[in-house]
Amino acid sequence: MIKALIFDLDGVIVDTAKYHYLAWKELADSLGFEFTKQHNERLKGVSRVKSLEILLEIGNLSFSEEKKHEFAVNKNKKYLEYVTKMDSSEILSGVINFIEDAKANNIKIALGSASKNAMTILKQIDILKYFDAVIDGTSVSKAKPDPEVFLKGAEALGMKPSECIVFEDAQAGVEAAINGGFYCVGIGGEEELGEANYLMSGFENINYKKIIEIIL
Ligand code: B16
Ligand code: MG
């Protein structure tokens, strides 16, 4: 029986990938190489440190740990400039209705995000009130595809993985959910998220009951 829903943040609740892109692109520009939107796809769901490694690999550059730390700090400052201008109009279509309907039926709600900025974003777009538990990049030591973030989310809600559905937009996130024994709904295409139990493009015209009927 499904008793809880665990949501990824970036790409599921809000489209912050565009702000991550702009902030990383600024770094790439300053280092003199091209960083395209296609390159940015590789950074989705991946931690900040790992994202920087991928970015520098794209630019074929290497730096000292100290310099990399400085790059990551500066990128995050830039990212926060965008994030702190966000408001609830940036919540993806259908998400609020979907969550409110589940909550009205006593389904627990958790966040399972790799982002260390998750709390800032949830407050900024005014949806923190919906979450019974928030697990983010500040509370995990192993990045997706390790299932730690979702296992901690289930634990905080007092649920078993088999009682939860995870909603994810990134390949590493879908893998994390499946590795942890969760049901997983992928928000995106077959090519990257084919391992998920069900795929959809977003939260419009669907509710959690329909999803349970389809995946169980
Ligand atoms: P931060 P999610 C992930 O969030 C993003 O998809 C990924 O692109 C980003 O690098 C990562 O958070 C870390 O973000 O720099 O804010 O700590 O999709 O797991 O909600
Ligand atoms: Mg995501």
DSSP 140-160: -SS-TTSTHHHHHHHHHHT--
- Same domain (yes/no): 98, 198: yes
Distance 64 CA to ligand 2 centre (A): 29
Q: Do residues 86 and 123 lie in contact, with contact meaning Cβ atoms separated by under 8 Å?
A: no
pLDDT in tens, 94-141: 999 999 999 999 999 999 999 999 999 999 999 999 999 999 999 999
Distance 90 CA to ligand 2 centre (A): 15
**Closest protein CA for atom 13 of ligand 1:** 115
- Same domain (yes/no): 9, 48: no
46 lines ligand 1 (CB under 6 A): yes
- Same domain (yes/no): 125, 54: no
Strands (E), 88-182: 108-112, 133-135, 164-168
pLDDT confidence of residue 17: 94
At which of 83, 100, 116 does a domain end?
83
Residue 112 bridge partners (DSSP): 135
- Same domain (yes/no): 140, 210: yes
Can you give the CATH number for the domain in which 75 is found? 1.10.150.240
In total, how many domains does the chain have? 2
10 lines ligand 1 (CB under 6 A): yes
- Same domain (yes/no): 113, 60: no
Residues spanned by the domain of 31: 17-83
Helix or strand run (H / E) with residue 198: strand 198-200
pLDDT confidence of residue 169: 96
pLDDT in tens, 139-184: 999 999 999 999 999 999 999 999 999 999 999 999 999 999 999 9
- Same domain (yes/no): 142, 102: yes
36 DSSP 8-state letter: -
Enter the tokens of residue 137.
């990049």
Percent of the chain having pLDDT more than 70? 100
pLDDT confidence of residue 139: 95
pLDDT in tens, 179-209: 999 999 999 999 999 999 999 999 999 999 9
Percent of the chain having pLDDT more than 90? 99
pLDDT confidence of residue 124: 97
pTM of the model: 0.96
- Same domain (yes/no): 45, 102: no
Q: Phi first, then psi: give them for residue 138, nearest 5 degrees.
A: -85, -10
Enter the tokens of residue 161.
């993985």
At which of 62, 83, 104 does a domain end?
83
**Closest protein CA for atom 8 of ligand 1:** 44
Average pLDDT value over all residues in the chain: 97
- Same domain (yes/no): 101, 9: yes
- Same domain (yes/no): 101, 160: yes
Distance 4 CA to ligand 1 centre (A): 22
- Same domain (yes/no): 41, 135: no
pLDDT confidence of residue 151: 98
Can you give the CATH number for the domain in which 197 is found? 3.40.50.1000
- Same domain (yes/no): 42, 102: no
pLDDT confidence of residue 166: 98
At which of 83, 108, 134 does a domain end?
83
Measured at the CA of 60, the angle between CA 55 and CA 64, to 5 degrees, comes to 75
- Same domain (yes/no): 123, 77: no
pLDDT confidence of residue 137: 96
pLDDT in tens, 37-82: 999 999 999 999 999 999 999 999 999 999 999 999 999 999 999 9
Length of the chain: 216
Choose which residue among 14, 18, 20, 69 to substitute to test ligand 1 binding: the one with the highest number of ligand atoms within 8 A of its C-beta.
20
137 lines ligand 1 (CB under 6 A): yes
